[in-house]
Structure 1
């Protein structure tokens, strides 16, 4: 299943499947100023009414935003024209889900830390803190109370899914990421990157106060290198391979 984080991007890409709409969006990005319906109609060579239809579809898809032109003097007739301009967000779709921005933020946090540890350990600590904040936010939102092992697995699975990961239940009592969120960098530096992933998931469980489960490294499992199991039921196998 495609991550929910991708949903908005997929809707936006679908809107750009129409050639006229795509040309209008490209024109709006090149213009360097808000464009009007008349501008868009002239650029694409269609009627103003049809241009208005396509522009509104782009607004609904989250690719453009609209506002009415501010006119200093009072207008005697009609209303101020509606203007359109691009939103300032990136458009990305990744199948399977990847988290390059999260990894970049972890590395930056680690690089800027003044802790007296190695750069690698500093990044691992940054990854733990990132995961812990996510867990704390979800616990404050859902107020789950004391978590049994099964409830902890369910909550961690839902939290990871909502954050753009792809958790699965490969067997009873276990949650695992179907694919490595930091692939393909995990192939280049598996021990380091899988360590960040493990630290992030461990931090998530800490923030959720999910003491009945633990994150363990299992790089030979054929999918991501980290899984969540009931505490004490599995030992960390260390690292001998890379995430997929």
Structure 2
């Protein structure tokens, strides 16, 4: 038997209370960690939700501002377009007014020139004259407004009278040089010729309606005055340009 080796025995006192306390502390720590994690998660969610709400409210504010800005821009566009339309309309109106004024000025200049010729006989040949024959198309096909101006250039105030024969010359089908008296195409003329009597000038105006199968080429005007100084004046006007031939 080996007596040199000795087994060492350690006697530990058993304490149920201590073990309970250790377990309780561990349980409390675990509970605290669980509760802390739960409330931390709740706080994190609340914080993120609060941040999202703030961002949402900020976005709403920005959206409203952008909507207001967009409305303002649209309003400006409408105002600009309206202004441009008004400017264009005003420009057209002003342009038309200028054209009308220029046309009126040209008309007045022509009238002034006409009166100067009539009232200043020393500057032009005296006697009976065919001043002009004008045609103006109407909205009706083949219908025209006509105006014949007859003048007397004289150094006295005596009346002149006589007859004016107006004829339209053209072709009908294959027939050339067909002559139609004004009486046959104008309800304003009752006789073959138009009577005139005036001191300085006279206008013979009305409307004519050409036959459908007639193609006009020129207008012939013959004036025949009566009295001691009877005169016969004949002149032709091209239909298209109304210029004296």
- TM normalised by structure 2 equals 0.23
